[in-house]
Chain A
Amino acid sequence: MPNASSGTRPSGPTAAGPTTARVVRIGGLLALAAVVLLFPSLAPDPFILSVGVVILSYAVLATSWNLVGGFTGYISLGHAAYSGLGGYATALLILRSGLNPWLALLVGALIVALIAIPVGIASLRVRGASFVIVSIALVLILQLTFQSWHTFTGGSGGLRVPRPFGADVLRPEQHERFFYLHAVLLALALLTWWLIERSRLGAGLKAIREDEDKAQALGVPTFAYKLTALVTSAFFTALGGGLYALWFGYLDPIFQFSILVGTYMVLMSLLGGVRSLFGPLLGAVVVGYAVEVFKSQYGDTQFHLVATGVLLGLVVLFMPDGVIPAITSFLNRRRRAASIREVSAEELARQREEATR
Chain B
Amino acid sequence: MTGALFAQSLVLGVLLGGLYALLAAGLTLYFGVMRVVMIAHSAFLILAAYLAWYFHERTGVDPLLSLVVTVPLFFVVGYGMQRFLVSRLRPITLTTMSVLLTFAVALTIEGLLGFIWTGTQRRVQLGYSGTSIEVAGVSVAVVKLIAFGLAALSLAALYLILRRTSFGRALRATTQHPEAARLIGIDTDRVAGLGFGLGLATAAIGGTALALDYTIYPSLHWHWIGPLMAIIVVGGLGSIPGAAIAALLLGVAASLLQVPLGTTWAQTVFYLALFVTLMIRPQGFFGGRLAQRF
Contact = CB atoms under 8 A, between A and B. Distances in A.
Interface of A: 73-75, 77, 121-123, 125-130, 132-134, 136-138, 140-141, 144-145, 147-148, 259-260, 263, 266, 270, 301-313, 316-317, 320, 345-346, 349
Given A134-B278, A141-B271, A320 B93 contact: yes
Contacts of A130: 233, 237, 278, 282, 291, 294
A-B residue pairs, 9 tightest by C-beta: A302-B114, A305-B111, A309-B107, A309-B108, A306-B111, A313-B104, A312-B104, A122-B278, A140-B226
A307 B112 CA distance: 10
A259 B267 CA distance: 18
B119 interface: yes
A140 B97 CA distance: 21
Contact of A121 (B39, B103, B265, B279): B279
28 contacts: A73-B96, A77-B99, A122-B275, A125-B278, A127-B293, A128-B99, A132-B99, A134-B275, A134-B278, A137-B229, A140-B226, A141-B226, A141-B271, A148-B264, A259-B222, A263-B103, A270-B100, A303-B111, A305-B111, A307-B111, A308-B107, A310-B104, A311-B104, A313-B101, A313-B108, A316-B97, A316-B104, A317-B88
A148 B230 CA distance: 21
Contacts of B73: none
Interface string B182-205: 000000000000000000000000
Nearest to B92: A346
B226 A309 contact: no
Interface in B76-125: 85, 88-90, 92-93, 95-97, 99-101, 103-115, 119
B274 interface: yes
Contacts of B230: 133, 137
A345 B95 CA distance: 16
Interface string B135-176: 000000000000000000000000000000000000000000
A125 B99 contact: no
A126 B110 contact: no
A74 B237 CA distance: 18
Interface string B258-294: 0000001101101100110011001100000001111
Nearest to B116: A302
Given A141-B226, A312-B100, A317-B88, A263 B107 contact: yes
A304 B93 CA distance: 27
Contact of A147 (B106, B112, B264, B271): B264
B37 interface: yes
B278 A316 contact: no
A71 B162 CA distance: 40
A184 to B, nearest CB: 31
B75 interface: no
Contacts of A121: 279
B218 interface: yes
A309 B111 contact: yes
Contacts of B107: 260, 263, 305-306, 308-309, 312
A126 B292 contact: yes
Nearest to B84: A317
A140 B222 contact: yes
Given A73-B96, A129-B95, A137-B229, A123 B106 contact: no
Contact of A128 (B89, B96, B278): B96
B231 to A, nearest CB: 11
Contacts of A144: 264-265, 267-268
B194 to A, nearest CB: 22
Contacts of B222: 140, 259
